[in-house]
Structure 1
C-alpha cells in the first residue's frame, strides 16, 4: 500500500471512530427544544429572580445557545398556583424551576423541615443543615420524588409584618389577619399563636394587603423592600427568624435525560454558581456585620423590632406542640440530624 492509500485508510478509520460521537451529539441536538420554561414565584427585582436569571445567562453562554431558558415569574405557567409548581415540573408543564421548599412541601413532606418553627434561627444554623448530611439527604428525597435537583438557593428568613401594631410577644398576634402560604404547617403555626391565618398566593396577597382584607404577612426582608410593602399599609416589622426558606434549582427528568452528559454538567455547575451568587444577594444587608437593610426599611417610616433570644423563646414555647407534631410527620431521624447540625454550628 502506497503512502496516499495509507492516508486515505487512516482518514476513513478516524471518520469511522468519530461517527458515533457525531451521531450521538446530533441525536441529542434533535431532542433539544428551542426554548425551555423556567418557573419562579417572583421576578428579577428580587434575589430569587436574580438567581434564576444568572443561571439562564450562564447556561446560554456555556452551551453556546444550545440550551436557552426563559424566565416565567409569578408561577405564570400554572396561573400563579405556587403550591402546584412541583407537580407541574414532574408532569412537564414546567421544564425547570428555582422553587421554594415551602411551596413544594405539600408534595414532598420532608421539605417541611425548613418550616419547623425556630429550627435554624440564623444563617450558620441554616448552612449547617443545607450544606451537610441533611441537605444531601433532602436532595436525594427530592430526586426520588421525580425531578433532578441541582443546587441550593435561598429566599431568606421570613419576618412578620403588619399594619396594626408592634409584635413582641405571642399575645400581640391575637386576632390579627395574616396572609400565609398554602402549607398546613403555616396554618397550624399562626393558629397556635392566636392569629387568623388565610392561605393565598403571592399574587393575591398584595391586593389583599392593600384593601385590608388581611392585615399582615411574613416574608424575607428583601421581599418587603422590592415589593414596597410599606405602601400596602405594612408599618410594623418583627424580625423573629422563625423559619428559613431555602430554594432548590431543579430540572424536569425527561428534559434532563434529553441533554448530552456534557451539557448536563454545564447546567449543574451553572446552577451551583448561580445558587451561591443568589444566596450572597439574599443575605446582603442582613448579616451580623452588615444590617443595612434594617436601616433601609426604617428609613421608609417603618417600625422594625428585632426580638431578643428571650423574646423568641416565648414564641418557641407556644409553638412546641406544632414542632413536635411535625417532627413525627417529617421523620424524627431527619429532624434529629438537623437539630444536631444546628447545635454543632452554635459551638463552632
Structure 2
C-alpha cells in the first residue's frame, strides 16, 4: 500500500495543477478593440499602447486585440459607437466625430473655430465640460475611460490656396458622415461630400472631390499629397479628441481591480499619445512642405473671416449639443 502513495500524491498533484490551469484559463479574456486607423498613425498606436499596458499589468489575463481600419463595422466608421453599445464590439479608441451621430454632445468639438489652440482643448476635456460629455456617453451604455487626440483638422485641396471663405466656393470637399460638417462647409460656400475614409483616397485620386480635411498626421502618413492635394491651409477649425471606452456589460463583468487597470492604462496611453501627436506636428509639417505642398497659414484677420462665416452653424447646433455643456466649455476656454 505504501508503495503506491508516491504515485497517489503525484496523481493528486497533477490533478490539482490541472484544476488550477483550467481555472486560470477560464479567467483569461480577450476583448476586441476597434479603431479607424492602423498603428501607422498615432491613433492606432494609442490603441496598441493601451493593449500593451493592459496585458502587462494583468499578466496576460486580459488581452486587448486591436482591429484597425474599422474592420469590425465593415469600414463604416460612424457605426462604431452603435456596435460597441450593442456589444458587437467590446471596446474602442474612437473619434468624437464618428461617435457624434449617436452622442450629440460630442459635436461640441466639431463646432467650427470654437477651440483655438491645444490649451483650449485641454481645458475642455480636463474640466466640467469633459465630465459632462463622459456622463453623456455613459448614459448610452458605454463607459468612457480616457482621452486621446487625433489633432486639429486642416484643409487641403487640389485647386489652389485657400485663405478666405470665398476660395471655397463650389469646391467639392470630402467630409465625414456628420450633419454638422455638412452645415459648416455649406456655410462656407463649398460642396461637402460625405464618405468614409476608405472611399476618400480613391475619390481624391479620380478628382471626384477637390479636397478634404484631416489632421497633419493623417495627411502625412497617408501621403495625401500624392493624390493631387497640393495645397494645405492651416486653419485649426476644429479638434478631434479620441476617447478610450468599453461596452457597459463588458465593464460590469470585470472585477474592480481589472476595471482600475483598464482605466489607468487608458489614461496613460492617452496621455502618451497626445504628447507624441503634438510633438510631431512641426516635423510632419516640414516633411509635407519638403514634398512640394504649398502651405497657407491664416493671419488673425483671415481667421476671423472664417469665424464670422460660420456663426450661423453655432446658432443652429449649440441647442442640439446642449447650452450647459457649451457654456461650461466656453468658460474653460476663456479662463485657460
Confirm or deny a common fold (TM above 0.5): yes
Stretches of structure 2 that go unaligned for 5 or more consecutive residues are 1-19
Corresponding residue number in structure 2 for 1:297: 288
- Give the distance between the partners of 1:282 and 1:243, measured in 2 at CA: 16
Aligned length: 317
The 5-angstrom pairing of residues 1-348 of structure 1 reads 30=26, 32-33=28-29, 35-286=30-281, 291-345=282-336
- Give the distance between the partners of 1:255 and 1:328, measured in 2 at CA: 33
- Give the distance between the partners of 1:143 and 1:270, measured in 2 at CA: 19
Q: Matched residue of 1:135: which SS?
A: helix
Q: Do the aligned partners of 1:32 and 1:258 also contact (CA within 8 Å) in 2? A: no
Corresponding residue number in structure 1 for 2:14: none
* Aligned-pair CA distance for 1:32: 4.9
Q: Do the aligned partners of 1:182 and 1:199 also contact (CA within 8 Å) in 2? A: yes
- Give the distance between the partners of 2:108 and 2:28, measured in 1 at CA: 36
* Aligned-pair CA distance for 1:328: 1.2
* Aligned-pair CA distance for 1:119: 0.8
Stretches of structure 1 that go unaligned for 5 or more consecutive residues are 1-22
Q: Do the aligned partners of 2:232 and 2:296 also contact (CA within 8 Å) in 1? A: yes
- Give the distance between the partners of 2:55 and 2:311, measured in 1 at CA: 47
After superposition, the Cα gap between the structure-2 partners of 1:73 and 1:182, relative to the gap in structure 1 and judged at 3 Å, is: same
* Aligned-pair CA distance for 1:337: 1.4
Divergent runs of 4+, >4 A: none
- Give the distance between the partners of 2:315 and 2:216, measured in 1 at CA: 28
Q: Do the aligned partners of 1:42 and 1:49 also contact (CA within 8 Å) in 2? A: yes
- Give the distance between the partners of 1:285 and 1:227, measured in 2 at CA: 15
Indicate the RMSD between aligned Cα atoms, in angstroms.
1.7
Q: TM-score, normalising length from structure 1? A: 0.88
* Aligned-pair CA distance for 1:160: 0.1
| Cα offsets for 1:57-81 (capped at 9, x unmatched) | 0101111111111111111011011
Q: Do the aligned partners of 2:27 and 2:61 also contact (CA within 8 Å) in 1? A: no
* Aligned-pair CA distance for 1:140: 1.1
* Aligned-pair CA distance for 1:229: 0.5
After superposition, the Cα gap between the structure-2 partners of 1:285 and 1:309, relative to the gap in structure 1 and judged at 3 Å, is: farther
Q: Do the aligned partners of 2:95 and 2:242 also contact (CA within 8 Å) in 1? A: yes
Q: Matched residue of 1:153: which SS?
A: strand
Q: TM-score, normalising length from structure 2? A: 0.91
Q: Do the aligned partners of 1:154 and 1:245 also contact (CA within 8 Å) in 2? A: yes
